[in-house]
Copies of this chain bind each other. A is one copy, B any other.
Amino acid sequence: MNLSPTPRSTIKRLKDRAATDRAALHAILDSALICHISVVVDGSPLVLPTGFGRDGDTLYLHGSTGSLSLRTAAANEICVAVTHVDGVVYARSVFHFSMNYRSAVIHGQARQPEGEEKLHALRAITEHLAPGSWDHARQPSRKELAQTSVLALDLSEAAVKIRAGGPGDEEEDKVADTAWAGVLPVVQGWGAPVPSADLTAGWDVPAHVSTRD
């Protein structure tokens, strides 16, 4: 299924950087820890980072019932961005400096799942943040569930943009050959797990943490 069905989610600039398949969208979402959610509050824009999960073509966003933005978001349109920076692109002219990145921007009207779907959404968010944890840790009590709010957003209106590779320098700058050109990759990974200071002795780090991809 293709993306970009509406004018505002159709990429107008640098069209060669637009990806149009749903697999690219899913891959960008699934490999990110956070998203940035934007809402309009009293006519002004507000953007905040938050955790999320995905099930098929539904994005689940995590929040608290005390959060103004999510209360506003549930009643209004939202926009969500997920961005990976893969490298800094050094060019022969400062005009062509760039970043390699993969980004997704999603528009839509959010809804607040309740009951079974809310639990399902929390599981998706937890497993996205920390795979293997839903069945390892204690699951939410009724009171904890009531204190948590979740938004669901359909992924139908989405734009994906990807840049990869070296700089797009001018021919004259290549000939002049007066500056280095290339990419400095950004690498991200996991450090060594740090057990909680109040963890009892005898715990090994479980495999779902120690071998996390």
- Interface residues, chain A, CB within 8 Å of chain B? 8, 12-13, 33-34, 36-41, 43-49, 51, 64, 66-68, 77-81, 83, 85, 87-88, 90-95, 97, 99, 101, 103, 105, 107, 122, 126, 129-130, 133-134, 136-141, 144, 147-148, 166-167, 169, 173-174, 176-200, 203, 205-206, 209, 212
In the complex, what residues of B have CB within 8 A of residue A97's CB? 126, 129-130, 133, 137
Q: Which residues of chain B are within 8 angstroms of A92 by Cβ–Cβ distance?
A: 137-138
A40 to B45, Cβ gap below 8 A? yes
When all copies of this chain in the complex are counted, the total is 2
A189 to B194, CA, bound (A): 19
A173 partner, pick from B40, B138, B177, beta carbons under 8 A: B138
B88 touching A129, Cβ below 8 Å: yes
Nearest chain B CB to A196 CB, angstrom units: 4
Shortest distance between the CB of A52 and any CB in chain B (Å): 12
Other-chain residue from B13, B51, B147, B191 in contact with A185 (beta carbon distance below 8 A):
B191
Evaluate contact between A166 and B198: CB separation under 8 angstroms.
yes
Q: Given A34-B85, A166-B198, A186-B191, are A122 and B138 also a contact pair (CB < 8 Å)?
A: no
Bound Cα distance A195, B91 (Å): 10
